[in-house]
A and B are shown apart, each in its own frame.
Chain A
Amino acid sequence: MFYREVGQFKTSYAADQAIFPIRQDRIGLALILAVAFIGIPLVGGEFMIASVMIPFLVLALAAIGLNILIGYTGLISLGTGAFMGVGAYACYKLSTLFPQVNIIVWIIASGLVSCAVGVLFGLPSLRIKGFYLAIATLAAQFFLQWCFVRVGWLYNNNPSGAIEVPLHTLFGIPITGATAKPLTRYYVVLTIVVVMTWFASNLVHGRIGRNWMAVRDMDIAAQLMGIRLLPAKLLAFAVSSFYAGVAGALMVFLWLGAAEPEAFNINESFVLLFMVIIGGLGSLIGAFFGAALIHILPIIVRTAPDALGLSIGSATAEHLTYIITGGLILFFLIVEPHGLARLWQIAKQKLRVWPFPY
C-alpha cells in the first residue's frame, strides 16, 4: 500500500548499493530520528527519559556490539557484561586521574581499553568455535569480574567497593553526576548511540561486514577468498568490545551514576545474549528490538495495572511481570525463531505485495 518501491528506478550502482535503497525506509528512519530527538523529550516525563529511554539506548548499544560478534561473525561470547565493566572501570579510572579532560573523550578512550582486552580474550577464537569458545569467553567474564572486586586500584580503593561518578560538564552543562538533568544525559546518550549505530551499519554493509559474514557462514571458503581468519575474527572482537566498553561507560556515567562489580556479572552477559537472539542475529535493528523487548516490555507490564485502574499488590505485579514477559518471549520465538528482526522483514515483505499474497 504505502510501503511499495514500485516506480523507484535506480540509474546507478551507487543508488542501488545505498544502505536504504527504498525511499520509504529513508522516510521511516528520518521519522524515528525525529521522534527520538524531538518527540520523546517533548512528551516524555522524567521517568520515561531516565528509566526507559536511557537504559534502552545503552543496552541496545551493547547488543549491537554483541551482535557484531555473534550475529555477523558467528563467535559466541558470554563475556559482554565483563567487557562493559572494563569500559566502565576504565572510564572511571581515566576520568578520576585526569578530571580536566572532557568526559566524552574518556568514554571513547574506555571503549578502546575494552577493545584491547576483547582482542586479548578473542585470541582463542582461531582454534575453538561454538560452545567451546563460549566457555573461553566465560573465563574472561569471571576473571574480569574478579579484578573489579579485588583490584582496589580500579575503584580508587573506595571502601564501599563501588565506583561513583563525579560531576563532568560538556560546554558548561553538567552531563554526569547527581546534578545532571535526565534530558541532557538522554541527548548525550542518544547522540553517541546514533553515531555508533551509523558506523556499525556502514561496517557491516561494506567489505569488512562481508568478510565477517563469510567467516560466519563458511570459514573454509572464506580463506579461499583470501580472507585471513585470525585478523577477521580479532577485528570482530575488537569492534564488539569497543561497543560494549562504550556502553558500559555510558551505563555507569550517564544512566546509573554509580555501580558495583555486581552490575557486570554473568547475568548481564546473559541478558545481552537474550536480547541479541530474540532481537535477531545479524541485524542491527534487531538489537534495538531485543533491547526494547527485554527492557521496556517489563516496564509496560508493570505499569499496566495501575494505568487500567486495577489495584494489585506490588509483589503480585512483580510476579505477573515475570510470567507475562517470559510468556511473550516464548511466543515471539515460537512465531519466528529467527527473532524479531525477521518478523519485521516478513511484515515489510507482506506490505510490499499487499493486497496480494505474493
Chain B
Amino acid sequence: MSGADDILLKVDNVSLSFGGVRAITDVSFDIRKGEIRAIIGPNGAGKTSMLNVINGFYHPQQGRISFHGQTRARMKPYEAASQGIARTFQNVALFKGMSTLDNILAGRALKMKSSFFWQMFRHGPALREEIEHRKFCEEIIDFLEIEHIRKAPVGTLPYGLQKRVELGRALAMEPTLLLLDEPMAGMNLEEKQDMSRFIIDVNQHFGTTIALIEHDIGVVMDLSDRIVVLEYGHKIADGNPDEVKSDQKVIDAYLGVAH
C-alpha cells in the first residue's frame, strides 16, 4: 500500500533549536494519505515542537518539509492553513468570548470571500455566504453531537466539550491534514471513547489524514496505523503499533514494563 505518491507530508532531517536548546535533532518521517499517524514520547521529547514546525509556527534551522509534493523551507501559519493543515491545541485554544457556532464559523474564515462592501450591508453575497457556511457548520455540529451548546459561549463549557468544539473548528476548515495535540488529555473514559469515535469517523468518512499526539498508549495503539516515537528530540522508532510496542528502545524510554 505504500507508494511514493501516496505520501502526503514528508519531514526530512528537521532540526530545531532555541538558542542552545535542541528541541528536535535530525528527525525524518512521513505521513501517508488517509492514515492516522501517532507521535508519542516522554514529556519534552519535541512532539508539540514537531507539530509547530509542520504548521509553520517554528522555522527549523535545518531540514525540509514537503506537503502535497511541494517542498518549503519557511512558511507562515496562515499559509499552512490555506494549504489545508488544521490543528487543535494541547491546552484548549478556543475563542473564549464567542459562541460555539461562531467559533466553528470562524474556522470557515478562509472559505468566506465576500467583500467588505457587502459585509457592511450584510446583504447579497455576504448574507448568502453566511447562510451557506452556517449550513456547513451545522453538519459539523450534528456530527460532533454538540447541537445543544451551539449558542453557548465556549468559555462556560466543560473541558470535554471545549475539546470537541475545538475539533469542530478544525474540521470547519475541511483540512487534508489534521494535527491533534493531545485530544484526550484530561478526559474521563466516556469522553475518551467519544473522542476516539470522532477521530475514527473523521478519518474514515471525510478521508482526512490525521497526525496525533497522545499519552494514552491504549488509545494510540488502537487508533493509529503507524507510530513515530521521539525522545529528547531524536526519533527512536517508527513503525506500526506492534513493532513499536515490542521495540526495546521504546520500552526503555517511554513505555516501561509491567511489574
Name A's B-contacting residues (CB within 8 A): 12-14, 16-17, 19, 199, 202-203, 205-208, 210-211, 213-214, 216-218, 220-228, 235, 282
Interface centre among B78, B102, B107 (most CB of A within 10 A): B78
With A210-B105, A210-B109, A220-B93 known as contacts, the answer to whether A225 contacts B81 (CB < 8 A) is yes
Query: Are the CB atoms of A13 and B138 closer together than 8 Å?
Result: yes
Q: Is the CB of A213 within 8 A of B97?
A: yes
CB distance from B121 to the nearest CB of A (A): 6
Asked whether, in the complex, the Cβ of A19 is within 8 Å of the Cβ of B114, the reply is no
Q: Please, how many angstroms separate the alpha-carbon atoms of A206 and B78 in the complex?
A: 20
Whether the pair B86, A224 counts as a contact (CB closer than 8 A) is yes
Q: Is the interface of A mostly helix, strand, loop or mixed?
A: helix
* A214 with B106, Cβ < 8 A, contacts A207-B119, A226-B173 known: yes
Q: Given A13-B134, A227-B78 in contact, is the A207-B120 Cβ separation under 8 Å?
A: no
Report the stretch among B16-24, B124-132, B215-223, B225-233 that lies at the interface: B124-132
Cross-chain pairs A/B with CB under 8 angstroms, 27 sampled: A13-B134, A13-B135, A13-B138, A17-B130, A202-B120, A205-B122, A206-B126, A206-B130, A207-B108, A207-B109, A207-B114, A207-B119, A207-B130, A208-B119, A210-B102, A213-B97, A213-B98, A217-B96, A217-B97, A218-B94, A220-B57, A220-B93, A221-B169, A222-B95, A223-B78, A225-B169, A228-B78
Once the chains bind, are B55 and A210 in contact (CB under 8 Å)?
Answer: no
B106 touches A210 (CB 8 A): yes
Partner among B82, B95, B116, B121 whose Cβ is within 8 Å of the Cβ of A221: B95
Contact with A along B156-182 (1 / 0, CB 8 A): 000000000000010001000000000
In the complex, B251 has a CB within 8 A of chain A: no
**Which listed residue (A14, A216, A223) contacts B81, Cβ 8 A?**
A223
Chain B residues closer than 8 Å to A222, beta-carbon distance:
95, 106
Contact residues in B for A228 (Cβ distance below 8 Å)? 78
Taking the nearest CB of chain B, how far is it from the CB of A143, in angstroms? 28
Give the contacts of B78-120 with A (CB-CB under 8 A).
78, 80-82, 86-87, 89, 93-98, 102, 105-110, 112, 114, 116, 119-120
Which B residues are CB-close (under 8 A) to A211? 106, 109
Instruction: Verify B119–A206 contact, CB threshold 8 A.
Output: yes
Q: How far is the CA of A217 from the CA of B155 in the complex (A)?
A: 11
CA distance A105 to B122 in the complex (A): 23
Given contacts A199-B121, A206-B119, A225-B173, 20 further A-B contacts (CB under 8 A): A12-B131, A13-B134, A14-B131, A16-B134, A19-B122, A206-B130, A207-B129, A210-B98, A210-B106, A211-B106, A213-B95, A213-B97, A213-B98, A213-B106, A218-B93, A223-B77, A224-B87, A225-B106, A226-B78, A226-B82
B113 → A minimal CB distance (Å): 9
Q: How many A-B residue pairs have CB under 8 A?
A: 103
A197 to chain B, nearest CB (A): 12
Q: In the bound complex, what is the Cα–Cα distance between A216 and B127 (angstroms)?
A: 24
Q: Which of A13, A202, A221, A228 has the most CB of B within 10 A?
A: A221
Report B57 CB to chain A, min CB distance, Å.
8
Closest residue to A231 on the B side, CB-wise? B78
Q: Complex Cα distance A243/B212, Å?
A: 46
Query: Do B122 and A217 have beta carbons less than 8 Å apart?
Result: no
Contacts of B78 in A (CB 8 A): 223-224, 226-228
* A residues less than 8 Å from B112 (CB atoms): 207
What chain A residues lie within 8 Å of B108 (beta carbons)? 207
Q: How far is the CA of A318 from the CA of B97 in the complex (A)?
A: 40
A198 vs chain B, min Cβ distance (A): 9
- Taking CB atoms, residues of chain A closer than 8 Å to B122 are 19, 202, 205-206
Nearest Cβ distance between residue B36 and chain A, in whole angstroms? 20
Expressed in whole angstroms, the Cα–Cα distance for A282 and B155 within the complex equals 15
Question: How many Å lie between the Cα of A211 and that of B126 in the bound state?
Answer: 15
* B-side contacts of A227, CB under 8 Å: 78, 106, 109
The 7 closest A-B pairs by CB, nearest first: A226-B81, A226-B110, A217-B95, A202-B122, A223-B77, A221-B93, A13-B134
Q: Are A214 and B109 in contact (CB under 8 A)?
A: yes
Q: Which residues on B sit within 8 Å (CB–CB) of A214?
A: 95, 98, 106, 109
Contact A199 B120 (CB under 8 A): yes
Q: How far does the Cβ of A321 sit from chain B's closest Cβ, in whole Å?
A: 35
Chain A nearest CB: distance from B155 CB in Å?
9
CA distance A208 to B114 in the complex (A): 10
Measured in the bound complex, the distance between the Cα atoms of B110 and A14 in whole Å is 21
CA distance A207 to B131 in the complex (A): 12
**Closest CB-CB distance, B98 to chain A, in whole Å?**
5
In angstroms, Cα B96 to Cα A317, docked, is 44
> Measured between alpha carbons, how far is A13 from B141 in the docked complex, in Å?
14
**Given A203-B119, A206-B126, are A13 and B110 neighbors across the interface (CB < 8 Å)?**
no
Nearest CB to that of B129 among chain A residues? Answer: A207
Contact B97 A225 (CB under 8 A): no
Tell me which residues across on chain A come within 8 A of B114, comparing CB atoms: 207
Instruction: State A214–B77 Cα separation when bound (angstroms).
Output: 15
B243 to chain A, nearest CB (A): 32
Taking the closest CB of chain B, its distance from the CB of A22, in whole angstroms, is 12
Chain A hits for B93, CB < 8 A:
218, 220-221
Partner of A218, one of B81, B95, B126, B135: B95
Chain A residues positioned under 8 Å from B102 (CB to CB): 210, 213
| B57 surroundings in chain A (CB, below 8 A) | 220
